[in-house]
A and B are shown apart, each in its own frame.
Chain A
Amino acid sequence: MLNLIKSEILKIRSTQVWFWMLVTAVALTVLFTLLSVLTISSDTPTDQIDYYGIFTSGAGAGVAMLVLGLLALTTEFRQKTITPSLLATPNRWRFLGGKTLAYVAIAFVYGLICLVINILLAVLCLHLKGFPVSFGHGASGGIVKEFISFVLLAFFGIGLGALVRNQAAAMVIGIVYLFIINPLLAGIPWIRKAYPFEPGGALGVFNSQHASDIGTSDIPHLQPLVGGVILFVWCVGLLLAGGYLSLNRDIS
């Protein structure tokens, strides 16, 4: 398995995709962090500052992790490298497992980089605006959750990419879901009762500070940790379904 992970990391390093995905993730982290701090009015009382929101604002960069995950398997099919890859690793589940671990490892590193940038930039901006720096009010836990959500989004992308082999279609589905369908689901009566149980909703629950932070009163208020578990189950389910459907198909 180590050889397989090494091979997958080599695949990623051999193109510039890893670099541009990192640039995108860092740029989004910087943008969201600046927005979260710079929009605080200078006369805001210290106890009214949303430290949780500031130190988890980099979570928006998770979309880059989703795209990275989507590329994992769809690139193999698009470039037809799936043939030599499966010749080298004929056990398809092993191949998918190795790829998943490699991409999760990369998301781990990217997440760490974004997290550090989020924290450093937030501390710097708070200091420049004359606000005290505090990791209280759940902010430290939020930082950890932000990091985990990065890795989970990459995981989710791998599963979605395994399910939808066409790269363009997978990208459109992933991004449209996250930015259009997911918010719509939260706003439609009756349907929004299921919102915390769909992947985007579960991600929102996981990244929230309190159970009551998500949506309107008719949305079930789950604990953030439960949202994380639901998202993880979705990731595993999607990967298994995608792996079964995609990798059991004939490679011709």
Chain B
Amino acid sequence: MTAPTQPATGPNSGPRGGYSDGRIVVDNLTKVFGTQRAVDSLSFTVEPGSVTGFLGPNGAGKTTTLRMLLGLISPTSGKATINGVKYSALPRPLQSVGAALEASSFHPAHTGLQHLRIYCAAAGLPARRANEVLDLVGLTDAAKKKTKGYSMGMRQRLGLAATLLGDPQVLILDEPANGLDPEGIRWLRGFFRHLASEGRTVLVSSHQLAEVQEVADRAVILNRGKLVRAGTLAELSAGTTTAIVRGPNLGPLQQALVAAGMSGTTEPDGSLRVRAEQLHEIGHLAYTCQVELHELSLERFDLEKLFFALTEGAHQGQNFDHGPQPGMPPVQSGPAQGR
């Protein structure tokens, strides 16, 4: 399986529908299965032309939300729209929205090419478009192989190829990195970058937080069906940069930092973690206090740490990592933040 280094999504390098719209609006969406509220009063907006990471632990309600957005699950209340209308009301759905929800939605006896041609026919697209998108995702060599012989990574690529059939301006991807090997993940990163550069609206749920942080403009974080945080990565990272200070005797520096109005914490190993965007002020204070430093570095915003802080307790397994999770902004919740 070969991976193209520079994914391109269409012969014209841009969605046929143009960039005039592509807004996704989830408005007070709720889904109750029996007694369980899988999604609870969820509201957020995905701006046109943005790449938005849709994050949350397993069972947070991400897939249910995406399926409600795509008309596959009926919401108990609330609504979700794309381009201002429900998915089922889109006149040419595959030309407006490309969605990849699971890597097993293929008939095992169909080849990859047959699978795509079936949906080309349904959408009124020329059959050659199937070959084009297979080429885009590096599956040309496997085009005539039955999907039952596909690896998980190949299935993911086939799912992504299907999303591009209609060259849509909106892409909705559910865990597209699942099953991809490191090369595949690197390819996916390039794929996301290219989609973003074309100005497409991309909503991607993923556990590959580092990948999401690298390509996403915004993030929507769910936990137990509720929105816990939404915003641009710049908004989410505000005030989270931390300076790490190590040295044999940091007492005088600590006092000087407090006097300078800076806040932070002392770690069990004696190092300091100070809320700061830059290091020069701390360096200067250390110099004036005559404090010997062994390390003075910045710990930048880390989406993964924010994610774990906001979804703490969602995973029921035994915790093998008792390391500190410092520098986290306080957890806030409520649908009002989603907009």
Contacts and interface: CB of A to CB of B under 8 A. Distances in A.
Interface string B66-89: 010011111000000000000110
B117 interface: yes
Nearest to B86: A90
Given A79-B108, A251-B73, A252-B73, A10 B99 contact: no
Interface in A73-99: 75, 79-81, 83-91
Nearest to B172: A87
Interface stretch (A11-19, A22-30, A135-143, A162-170): A11-19
A81 B71 contact: no
A85 to B, nearest CB: 8
A7 B122 contact: yes
Given A7-B119, A10-B121, A252-B64, A86 B71 contact: yes
Interface string B99-137: 101101111111100100111011110000000000000
A250 interface: yes
Given A10-B114, A90-B87, A84 B74 contact: no
Interface string B309-336: 0000000000000000000000000000
Interface residues of B, number: 34
10 contacts: A3-B121, A3-B122, A4-B122, A7-B119, A15-B110, A80-B105, A81-B107, A84-B162, A88-B94, A250-B67
Given A3-B121, A3-B123, A252-B72, 20 more contacts: A4-B122, A10-B118, A14-B110, A14-B114, A75-B107, A80-B105, A81-B106, A83-B101, A84-B105, A89-B122, A90-B70, A90-B71, A90-B87, A90-B93, A248-B74, A250-B67, A250-B73, A251-B73, A252-B63, A252-B64
A249 to B, nearest CB: 9
A144 to B, nearest CB: 32
Contacts of B119: 7, 84, 88
B196 interface: no
B90 interface: yes
Contacts of B101: 83
Interface residues of A, number: 26
A6 interface: yes
Interface string B57-68: 000000110010
A248 B123 CA distance: 22
Given A3-B124, A6-B121, A251 B109 contact: no
Contact of A14 (B102, B105, B118): B118
Contacts of A81: 105-107
Contacts of A4: 122
